[in-house]
Amino acid sequence: MKLRKLVTFAATVTMATGATSLLDTGSAFASTAKKNTPSVKVVRTISAGAPTPHFIGVDQRTNRLFVSHLAQGTVTVIDPQDGRLVHTIYLGGTVHTVFVDQATQTVYVTDIARGLVDVINAKTYALKARINVGGHPHGLALSNSLHEVFVSNIGTNQIDVVSMKTNSVVAQINVGPNPWGISYDQANQMLYSANTGISPMGTVNPAGNSITAIDAKTNQVVKTITVGANPWWALADTQNKTVYAGLAGANMVAVIKSNMVVQDIPVGTSPHGLAFDSKTKTLFVNDSGSNEVTVIDTKDNSVIANLPTGTQPQGVGVDKKTGYAYVANQGSGTITVLKVQPK
């Protein structure tokens, strides 16, 4: 089954033999005649610094990318302006999601194979702490006001709540089967878990297909929202009080308001990573099975672009200061760089 190949461990992912440096792909351009709708352009493709890039964390203060590499157990630090490899951080294991805390310049990385969350100094690239959460941790979210990091754990069907002060697990929240993605709504202090129902080895649990809404102040589940097949990632848009969920098994993005699905937006095959640019109101959806990124105007939830990427795009990150978006292409070992132009 194709979806199974996309979710298995590093032993089964396609190894990239190398990557081109700076490739000008500016001809890939999408725009629309609609008033006040941004246009999006593929600017270039750069090397990810190592094979199997999976997720990208953007440090907006230094304009650096922290890229996890599944089969390498490393995080590379990339200068996206010229594609230069700045540094390689050796962690071991099978590293997945990367989250950069802009306030403290701390990088968090999940190790799905060893049940760890690695904590890295974004300025020195030194490993500060290694937190044992057990299971198979994947997604990350963070609350500076609560001083907590939230970790979705595929193996335990829980959200691990980690204290930023002590770097230890202080609570666990039961959610649906196999939560891969997670998102935090800072304004409303709500947490959203995407329960795919797919185990790390690709076994499908039909009881999945849901988003769990959680009150982060109390760690209490508010509601379980049924969505389409295999929600891989959830992303909260605080300003619009909307949650978006990429449905890998339905090739849709579910739009959730007031804890109800109000719309499904057709996208490419097997949507995985999601990222949001709050300045231009654009949502980026990595379509892992069709090697493209779908760009959505969240003002009316219309698709404004379908742009080509490298092979098997997974995570996507946005630099809200510069308007650039970065797509990690796991199969081709590259990063696709996109630029949003507001109208």
Full residue range of the structural domain in which residue 250 is found: 2-11+46-270
Instruction: Scan for tokens 């941790």, then name that residue.
Output: 137
* pLDDT given for residue 21 in this prediction: 35
* pLDDT given for residue 5 in this prediction: 36
How many structural domains compose the chain? 1
Going residue by residue through the chain, which has 343 residues, state the pLDDT in tens, using 9 for 90 and above: 333 333 333 333 322 323 333 333 343 444 444 557 888 999 999 999 999 999 999 999 999 999 999 999 999 999 999 999 999 999 999 999 999 999 999 999 999 999 999 999 999 999 999 999 999 999 999 999 999 999 999 999 999 999 999 999 999 999 999 999 999 999 999 999 999 998 877 788 878 899 999 999 999 999 999 999 999 999 999 888 999 999 999 999 999 999 999 999 999 999 999 999 988 999 999 999 999 999 999 999 999 999 999 999 999 999 988 999 999 999 999 999 999 887 7
Residue 18 lies in a domain: no
Residue 101 lies in a domain: yes
* pLDDT given for residue 236 in this prediction: 95
Three-point CA angle 277, 8, 78, nearest 5°: 45
Instruction: Scan for tokens 């949003």, then name that residue.
Output: 340
Region label for 217, one of left (φ > 0), alpha (ψ between -120 and 50) or beta (otherwise): alpha
Q: What is the CATH number of the domain that holds 201?
A: 2.130.10.10
Residue 339 lies in a domain: no
Residue 162 lies in a domain: yes
Residue 254 lies in a domain: yes
Answer yes or no: pTM beyond 0.95. Answer: no
Encode pLDDT of 239-283 as tens digits.
Answer: 889 999 999 999 999 999 999 999 999 999 999 999 999 889 999
HEC assignment per residue over the chain = CHHHHHHCCHHHCCCCCCCCCCEECCCCEECCCCCCCCEEEEEEEEECCCCCEEEEEEECCCCEEEEEECCCCEEEEEECCCCEEEEEEECCCCEEEEEEECCCCEEEEEECCCCEEEEEECCCCCEEEEEECCCCEEEEEEECCCCEEEEEECCCCEEEEEECCCCEEEEEEECCCCEEEEEEECCCCEEEEEECCECCCCCECCCCCEEEEEECCCCEEEEEEECCCCEEEEEEECCCCEEEEEECCCCEEEEEECCEEEEEEECCCCEEEEEEECCCCEEEEEECCCCEEEEEECCCCEEEEEEECCCCEEEEEEECCCCEEEEEECCCCEEEEEEEECC
Task: Quote the CA–CA distance of 180 and 232 in Å, as a whole number.
Answer: 6
Task: Quote the CA–CA distance of 117 and 272 in Å, as a whole number.
Answer: 21
Residue 229 lies in a domain: yes
Q: Note whether 155 and 134 are within 8 A (CB).
A: yes
Residue 65 lies in a domain: yes
Task: Quote the CA–CA distance of 148 and 194 in Å, as a whole number.
Answer: 19
Residue 321 lies in a domain: no
